[in-house]
Amino acid sequence: MGTWSRKQLVSDFLLSFMWVWSSIVVKIIVSRILVNGGGDAYGEIVKTGFSIANMFLFSFLCSFLGGAYNPLTVLSSGISGNFDNFLYTVGARIPAQVVGSITGVRYILRTFPGIGTGPILKVDIHHGALTEGLLTFAIVFISLGLSVKIPSGFFMKTWITSVSKVSLHILGSDLTGGCMNPAAVMGWAFARGDHLTRNHIIVYWLAPIEGTLVAVWLFRLLVQPSKKDSSVDKKKSQ
């Protein structure tokens, strides 16, 4: 493993650690400091604003450090590359993110006992799996589209992605938590001791992975032919 690979794994670990902490920090700032409970509409607006700002911060950190905090992000790029990259993603990067999330949650609970339990499935397993799968499909497809349409526009791409993630999170928050991040959910499930249950594995791992695979496959099916057609038209015009 090269130096860059080791640095990337460390970045994945640190970013995952920081990501689970950031959600708690936003929760404390909004509910305990700014709005004294945060249960009204004003509290939700403030929380949404902080969440979007937090995503901008982590987008910058991911670009600067060369890492990621969501297994689905690296999985979508891993299955789009060669087989060695896929093995590296599944065998090294995703485990580093999981360990980072578990470590982060452990220190959260030591620092703030009783702060919460993390995302919990509130519907039946089939409904939950469908919810997480569809939410993941939507955000992965949007991210892939932005990478093609706005390859270098950091602000606009991050803005659209952030608003999309927050909107999808709100849609699924009362059902599964609207997570779309298996590593972060794994951190909380590990702390509760239910990380190996059937509900957790199917809803928060298998369903999002299937949603990611379908999104990448459909994106290739819809986008690549149009790109080939446009290149052929350019050659003919020349």
CB 150 within 8 A of CB 156: yes
Q: How far is CA 3 from the centre of its chain?
A: 26
Q: Is the dihedral of CA 15, 206, 80, 84 positive or negative?
A: positive
The DSSP line for 191-219 is HHT-TTSHHHHIIIIIHHHHHHHHHHHHH
Structure tokens at 11: 């970045």
CB 172 within 8 A of CB 131: yes
Cα(69)–Cα(100) distance, rounded to whole angstroms?
9
Burial of 134 (0-12, 13-18, 19+ CB in 10 A): middle
Nearest to 22 by CA among 62, 60, 50: 50
Structure tokens at 233: 């038209």
Structure tokens at 110: 């030591």
pTM: predicted TM-score of the whole model, two decimal places: 0.87
Structure tokens at 210: 């299937």
Cα(152)–Cα(156) distance, rounded to whole angstroms?
9
Can you give the pLDDT at residue 232? 47
Cα(165)–Cα(50) distance, rounded to whole angstroms?
13
End-to-end, the C-alpha distance of the chain in Å comes to 45
Q: Which residues of the chain have pLDDT under 50?
A: 38, 232
The DSSP line for 21-67 is HHHHHHHHIIIIIISTT--SHHHHHHHHHHHHHHHHHHHHHHHHHT-
Find all residues with CB under 8 Å of 193, minimum gap 6, and list them.
Answer: none
* Mean of per-residue pLDDT scores for the chain: 87
Cα(218)–Cα(109) distance, rounded to whole angstroms?
40
SS (H, E, C) 126-167: HHHHHHHHHHHHHHHHHHHHHHHHCCCCHHHHHHHHHHHHHH
How is domain 3-227 classified at the CATH fold level?
Glycerol uptake facilitator protein (1.20.1080)
